[in-house]
């Protein structure tokens, strides 16, 4: 390797001046802070208009209702941080939900029905990862192909029928632990675990390195191809968990998935501050963004505003976020 190497931009925390803790948090997690502030602002405003907004049941709806999207967004954030994208995850979640439901009603043990989607998701995404990392096919192309295959396959295999008669023990997303809804707990625990892992483990740091500067990553001895495959596989595991939360929330499993689910997941990661160009962002941001979506959705109903504004507001948020990201990068270089 004799080529010149662009070192990644110097991170603020290596500064010797060490500004105050709050200043450092805002500097390093700017987008996360913006999203959090937006959530808090919405809560204050809507509660002033209609105090029922903060009743316990509505808090459950807001913080638990989008948990499966947040969990899927964790894996998506990792993929996007490496400078790739996955547009097939919505269809994958649909397939995995059907896998879980089919196993549950076919008499397999509940634990098996709940664990199988995680491994199937890892297997599918390992194939995608190999095509991206070793065959060097752009991830958008591979995953567009996977999207068609998974979506078409799901309809062909199920014939559009729904799965009902699910055993009550299977419906874990309806349960509570320590008084808190299970989807909420999954979201919080997985977000924090992933955040710490990505910040402090060598593997986690290498995800940022691959997306921030692939040549430098190679030069520093990171096995980029292998790591890419692993990241896609981990993303598949998160899709599996998301699929379980999705499949066990209601008493019937549809053979279709919410339209544009993959777009919602990608949007959450982008608004949460994960750079669409790779190399930066956190999963705290993506989780906060899904909570923001749920808050906006609920707020619109509570203050009687048409749901079309939700999409309009989210569209503007994406543009603003991407623009801010570009400006930040421009300033650094």
Partner 1 sequence: MGKIVLSAILALSFSTSLSHAQSTWTGGDDLPTNPLACDGAAATAAAVPYDGGEPTDAPDRKGKTLTVVDVPKLVGIGYFNATSKGIAEAAAEMGTMNAKTDGPSRANIDDQITLIDNYITSGVDGILFAANDPVAISPVLKKALAAGINVVGYDANSQPDARQWFVNQAEFNGIAKSMIDAMAAEIGEDGAFAIVTSTFTTPNQARWIAEMEAYQSACYPNMKWLETVEAQEDNILSFNQANTLINKYGDEMKGILGMTSVATPAAADAVTQAGQCGNVAVVGLATPNAMKPYVASDCVKSVVLWNPVDLGYAAAYVLRAVADGTLQPGATSVEAGKLGELQVINGSEILLGAPFVFTKDNINDFDF
Site for partner 1, rule CB under 8 A: 50, 52, 55, 57-58, 60-61, 65-66, 68, 83, 85, 138, 140, 156, 159-162, 164-165, 174, 246, 249-252, 254, 256, 258-261, 263, 266-267, 270, 276-277, 294, 297-298, 301-302, 304, 306-309, 311-312, 314-316, 318-319, 322, 326
DSSP annotation string for 223-257: -HHHHHHHHHHHHHHHHHHHHHHHHTSSSSB-SS-
Residues 6+ apart with CB under 8 A from 258: 90, 264
Q: How far is the CB of 69 from partner 1 (least distance, A)?
A: 8
Q: How far is the CB of 61 from partner 1 (least distance, A)?
A: 4
Q: E strands along 136-215, which residues?
A: 176-177, 180-181
**How far, in whole angstroms, is CA 300 from its chain's centroid?**
23
Nearest-10 Cα torsion for 128, 130, 131, 137: 110
- Given the complex with partner 1, which of 115 and 322 has the nearer CB atom? 322
Q: How far is the CB of 172 from partner 1 (least distance, A)?
A: 13
Spatial distance between the Cα atoms of 199 and 90, rounded to a whole number of angstroms: 27
Alpha-carbon distances of 227 from 76, 126, 202, 203, 268, rounded to whole Å: 15, 11, 11, 8, 24
- Given the complex with partner 1, which of 155 and 192 has the nearer CB atom? 155
Q: How far is the CB of 23 from partner 1 (least distance, A)?
A: 29
Residues 6+ apart with CB under 8 A from 146: 88, 91, 92, 124, 128
- Given the complex with partner 1, which of 170 and 195 has the nearer CB atom? 170
Q: How far is the CB of 302 from partner 1 (least distance, A)?
A: 6
Alpha-carbon distances of 123 from 36, 229, 230, 256, 272, rounded to whole Å: 35, 11, 11, 21, 28
- Given the complex with partner 1, which of 218 and 322 has the nearer CB atom? 322
DSSP state for residue 299 in the 8-state scheme: H
- Given the complex with partner 1, which of 126 and 174 has the nearer CB atom? 174
Q: What are phi and psi of 59, to 5 degrees?
A: -65, -40
- Given the complex with partner 1, which of 124 and 245 has the nearer CB atom? 245
Q: How far is the CB of 187 from partner 1 (least distance, A)?
A: 14
- Given the complex with partner 1, which of 207 and 294 has the nearer CB atom? 294
- Given the complex with partner 1, which of 114 and 122 has the nearer CB atom? 114
73 CB-contact burial (10 Å; exposed 0-12 / middle 13-18 / buried 19+):
buried
Q: How far is the CB of 255 from partner 1 (least distance, A)?
A: 11
- Given the complex with partner 1, which of 8 and 297 has the nearer CB atom? 297
Find the angle CA(180)-CA(120)-CA(86) to the nearest 5 degrees.
Answer: 85
Q: How far is the CB of 148 from partner 1 (least distance, A)?
A: 15
Cβ atoms of residues 314 and 267 within 8 Å = yes
Q: How far is the CB of 279 from partner 1 (least distance, A)?
A: 12
Nearest to 121 by CA among 175, 76, 81: 76
DSSP state for residue 277 in the 8-state scheme: T
């Amino acid at each position: 390797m004799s080529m010149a190497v662009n070192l990644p931009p110097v991170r603020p925390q290596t500064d010797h001046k060490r500004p105050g803790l709050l200043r450092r948090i805002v500097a390093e997690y700017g987008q996360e802070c913006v999203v959090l502030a937006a959530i808090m602002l919405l809560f204050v405003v809507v509660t002033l208009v209609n105090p029922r907004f903060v009743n316990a049941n509505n808090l459950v709806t807001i913080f638990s209702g989008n948990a499966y999207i947040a969990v899927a967004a964790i894996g998506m954030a990792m993929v996007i941080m490496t400078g790739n994208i996955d547009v097939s995850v919505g269809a994958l979640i649909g397939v995995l939900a059907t896998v879980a439901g089919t196993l549950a009603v076919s008499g397999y043990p509940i634990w098996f029905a709940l664990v199988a989607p995680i491994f199937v998701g890892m297997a599918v995404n390992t194939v995608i990862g190999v095509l991206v990392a070793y065959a060097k096919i752009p991830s958008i192309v591979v995953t567009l192909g996977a999207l068609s295959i998974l979506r078409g396959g799901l309809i062909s295999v199920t014939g559009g029928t729904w799965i009902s008669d699910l055993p009550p023990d299977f419906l874990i997303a309806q349960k509570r632990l320590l008084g808190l809804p299970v989807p909420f707990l999954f979201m919080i625990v997985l977000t924090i675990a992933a955040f710490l892992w990505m910040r402090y483990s060598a593997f986690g740091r290498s995800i940022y390195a691959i997306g921030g500067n692939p040549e430098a990553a190679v030069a520093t001895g990171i096995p980029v191809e292998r790591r890419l495959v692993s990241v896609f596989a981990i993303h598949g595991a998160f899709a599996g968990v998301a699929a379980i939360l999705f499949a066990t929330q209601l008493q019937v499993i549809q053979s279709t998935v919410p339209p544009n689910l993959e777009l919602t997941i990608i949007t959450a990661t982008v608004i949460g501050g994960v750079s669409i160009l790779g190399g930066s962002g956190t999963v705290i941001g993506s989780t906060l963004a899904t909570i923001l979506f749920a808050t906006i959705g609920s707020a619109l109903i509570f203050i009687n505003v048409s749901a079309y504004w939700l999409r309009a507001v989210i569209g503007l948020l994406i543009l603003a976020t991407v623009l801010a990201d570009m400006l930040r990068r421009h300033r650094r270089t």
